[in-house]
Amino acid sequence: MRKPALVALLLATPLLAACTENVKAADDSGDSRTVSVTSTDDGCELSSAQAPSGTLTFDVTNDGSKVTEFYLLGEDGQRIVGEVENIGPQLSRQLVVSAPEGDYVAACKPGMEGDGIRADFTVTGSDQEPSVSAGDQQQVDQALESYEDYVQDQSDQLVAKTRQFVELYTNGEDDAARALYPEARVHWERIETVAESFGDLDPKTDAREADLEPGQKWTGWHRIEKDLWPPATGYTPLSTKQRAFYADDLLGNIETLDGRVQKLTYTVDQIANGSRGLLEEVASGKVTGEEEIWSHTDLWDFQANVDGARVGYEGLEPIVEHKDPELAQTLEERFAALQKLLDAQKTDDGFVSYDRLSHAEVRQLANAVNALAEPLSELTAVVVS
């Protein structure tokens, strides 16, 4: 009984070692890169007003009576280099930033109001000087713009395909509706983390039967999915009138979603979190075949989640490339490895049905998802640092 478990553990070791390579080396130059900050209702005390360049750690303790925040700002006192929010009274939180040589402003903001209590902070040159790129802001702007375009475009296509889909479905053209179902869903799944952020719409459009609460009416994609791929026994097909109701309801909600999505703007951490979130969607629903239990079109959703995650990441890649090139390389390799496994399941008109996958194939996909999701969980911290 013990032997196989041991083998599994041994296999896991090199993988884990690889994932942690990106973690910044522990500070071997003493504690000079760690600064204690004590924030009170009327003070902001730093254990040192300067530090050598590199990865700096600010240990912020709130000795005041109100929630506080700590900021490391650029020389102009405006540009945020790093921040840590929501530090309750008597609690501590850590800010880790990568800071090149230069003049900075440190600020505590007890009560989260006004400009905060500020003091000059100097970073002196050292042999751990982080590389700076003048293109930083430009890279950020570009990432934001291309992500906005992507989401808007996917949302447009989602509306168009959903309209076609519900028309086929209400007209009783079931074969055509079944063929279009996964294609329309792809546009939802590519932007799923954005779509899901509207708590009122998500349960009406994407709820699975098992997610329902007592008294909640089941509507949306999966209601129609079940009607198009009904269980062999014990199921009463929907009438034409019922079909029209569910179809209108779905389209209406998708149009409302689109109206909201077109107005959204993003920040880099939202994009990074979205990218990570999409991989979590894969790990928790698609790789297990729980998303599309009637149609078994899970691999379409799987691919679409990965597409969305990759697009989000690729926009940020130039930033990651210069802040943590090793992470960039790991992510690139693991996106590619996962894509290779997905490509192997492609067919002329899409993907192999989930229920046709062997256990070994599902296992491989799951391992590749974990291998990618683990380093991807560092993305947000890297892009905002």
Partner 1 sequence: MTRGLPAGRIGPTEGAVDLPPDDTGEAIGLSASGLTITFGFGPALFRDARGRDRFGIADRQPEALRTLPHFPADVLDPERSYGDLCVQACADDPQVAVHAIRNLARIGFGTVAVRWSQLGFGRTSTTSTSQSTPRNLFGFKDGTANVKAEETSDVAQHVWVADGDDAKAAWLAGGSYLVARRFNMNIEIWDRQSLGDQEDFIGRTKASGAPLSGGTEFTEPDFSMPGSDGPVIPRDAHVRVVHPDFNDGVRMLRRGYNFVDGSDPLGGLNAGLFFIAFMRNPDTQFIPVQNRMAKVDALMEYVKVTGSALFAVPPGIGAGEYVGQALFA
Question: Which residues contribute to the site for partner 1 (CB under 8 A)?
Answer: 8, 62, 67, 69, 85-86, 88-91, 93, 112, 210-214, 216, 276, 280, 283-284, 287-288, 359, 362-363, 366-367, 370, 373-374, 376-377, 380-381
CB of 222 to partner 1, least distance (A): 14
Tokens of 206: 């994407």
Nearer to partner 1, 184 or 369 (CB): 369
CB of 93 to partner 1, least distance (A): 7
Measuring CA to CA, how many Å separate 257 from each of 144, 155, 181, 323?
Answer: 20, 8, 18, 35
Nearer to partner 1, 133 or 288 (CB): 288
Buried b (16+ CB within 10 A) or exposed e, 332-345: bebbeebbeebeeb
CA proximity to 150, closest of 364, 310, 328? 310
| CA gap 287, 18 in Å, rounded | 23
CA proximity to 44, closest of 103, 106, 114, 92? 106
Report the number of secondary-structure helices (H) and strands (E) in the chain: 12, 11
CB of 88 to partner 1, least distance (A): 3
Tokens of 89: 């009274």
**Angle subtended by helix axes 298-323 and 325-343, to nearest 10:** 160
CB of 85 to partner 1, least distance (A): 4
Nearer to partner 1, 132 or 381 (CB): 381
CB of 327 to partner 1, least distance (A): 14
CB of 32 to partner 1, least distance (A): 24
Nearer to partner 1, 90 or 137 (CB): 90
Q: Tokens 């969980």 — which residue?
A: 377
Nearer to partner 1, 166 or 373 (CB): 373
3-state SS assignment for residue 142: helix
In sign, the C-alpha dihedral spanning 74, 80, 84, 87 is positive
| CA gap 143, 200 in Å, rounded | 28
CB of 29 to partner 1, least distance (A): 25
The residues pairing with 67 across neighbouring beta strands, listed in sequence order, are: none
